[in-house]
Structure 1
């Protein structure tokens, strides 16, 4: 019987038994018997509740929420590196940190996992977001030191808000379980304007597609207009034009024909030529 349960039972029996021995009439004994029945019933109920409380208490004793004196734990941000000084994280970008664990005792430690969460900055008892547990199951021998890593993403919706960041490390040894709070401070979530985001990339792709579409449409109309202009030029008739001066080019006439014409034509001053001139004047 547990200690608190025995105290309740002994007190009840201690006050009830002298009352029964001093009773002289049956009616009073009956009343006392009824009262004793209620007392025993209360003792049974109290015993059941007390037993459940003992079980819960035993579990709480096994889970020690304080750090072990043989464990030395350290914490550092690796991405972004300046988060160790300015306490600023970027929404939508990965956050990485390292946990150093050193066993200075004589017994082995088993590092179970780490839990990371965002809390309400005004009251760290209110959870805003819980991240996935970092499962390690790493055994650390005496005088040994290990480094554990973890990464998470701060959601973009938290940009511009201060949040409480809490990181707890769970480990155990042969004596019980321990929880060490390795980080418990307020950080500010900033909006990342330096990198490439999805919305900006989608807008760039849309603009590039529109430009390509306009170029294709312009090329199509240009080819169509050029084709029509070429057909009109082919349909225009070719007009021959003579020489602008009175000189006649005889180079294309064979020389034999020119010589024959010279022989047949009368010479200037000849009677035939003179008769022709007179005939023209008379006319």
Structure 2
């Protein structure tokens, strides 16, 4: 056997051993994670607990399963202890999932901390609310709501109270807080612009003399109504008072002197 053939066989054997080690390493690394996932999946509901879920806002969400972006979504969770031991409701977690694969998280909302103790035969109501972001508008998403609780012995349970696809719609009301602010800002800018323009035109008109006052002369009418004056008085006045400045008037004045 040639030396080159020996080296080739040795190299192939080394590669096969290395590949087996890599595969074994991957299996060894994934084993704890898969085991942990299996443990999480085995955590279920307690037979001594009964849970209910109901949307309160929007009112028709229980039937249509539709939410609007920018508007609050609120729901109630009912918890009933049917057993003989106390339960403690720890928290609830809400998330958006990919509609075709619920293992893929689109958004995790802040979980609601309750730490509410529920005694045997007791019922409590818990609430939570969130807002759907505008980036989800026009698309369906999976909504998942899980409730975590434990009994007096420390056993942990998880109830899935809602797990369905919902539609996120764009708010078509036409008015929002941002729109209102922009509308008020536009009105304020318009008023300010009109005031500045008025002041500028006033200064310009004063400089060009367009704002001079117009004086309208008013006088008495030359027409006199003599109907109420006795005719004798009018005739005597006409005889004694010839037209001022006429030759007759000057002659009459000299004779009188």
Q: Which TM-score applies when normalising by structure 1?
A: 0.60
- Residue number in structure 2 paired with 1:132: 110
Q: Is the 8 A contact 1:109 1:140 kept in 2?
A: yes
Q: Is the 8 A contact 1:64 1:177 kept in 2?
A: no
Change (3 A) 1:247 1:178: farther
Flag the structure with higher helix content.
1
Residue of structure 2 aligned with 1:197, choices 176, 189, 197 = 176
State the Cα distance separating 1:155 from its structure 2 match: 0.6
RMSD, matched Cα: 3.7
Q: Does 1:208 align with 2:197?
A: no
Q: Does 1:179 align with 2:176?
A: no
Residue of structure 1 aligned with 2:130, choices 133, 152, 161 = 152
Q: Does 1:265 align with 2:254?
A: yes
State the Cα distance separating 1:209 from its structure 2 match: 3.2
Give secondary structure in 1 for the equivalent of 2:255: coil
State the Cα distance separating 1:232 from its structure 2 match: 4.4
- Residue number in structure 2 paired with 1:101: 79
Distance 1:217 1:130 in 2: 51
Give secondary structure in 2 for the equivalent of 1:266: helix
Distance 2:106 2:88 in 1: 29
Q: Is the 8 A contact 1:74 1:99 kept in 2?
A: yes
- Residue number in structure 2 paired with 1:165: 143
Q: Is the 8 A contact 1:64 1:178 kept in 2?
A: no
State the Cα distance separating 1:212 from its structure 2 match: 1.1
Distance 1:185 1:101 in 2: 20
Q: Is the 8 A contact 1:163 1:187 kept in 2?
A: yes
- Residue number in structure 2 paired with 1:220: 199
Q: 1:194-232, CA deviations, whole angstroms, 9 ceiling, x for partnerless residues? A: 163244234323421332133113321443355454774
Q: Which TM-score applies when normalising by structure 2?
A: 0.66
State the Cα distance separating 1:93 from its structure 2 match: 1.5
- Residue number in structure 2 paired with 1:74: 52
Q: Is the 8 A contact 1:95 1:153 kept in 2?
A: yes
- Residue number in structure 1 paired with 2:62: 84
Equivalenced residue count is 198
State the Cα distance separating 1:77 from its structure 2 match: 0.6
Moved over 3 A (4+): 225-234, 243-249, 261-264
Give secondary structure in 2 for the equivalent of 1:150: strand
Question: Structure 2: 5+ residue runs without aligned partners?
Answer: 1-27, 224-241
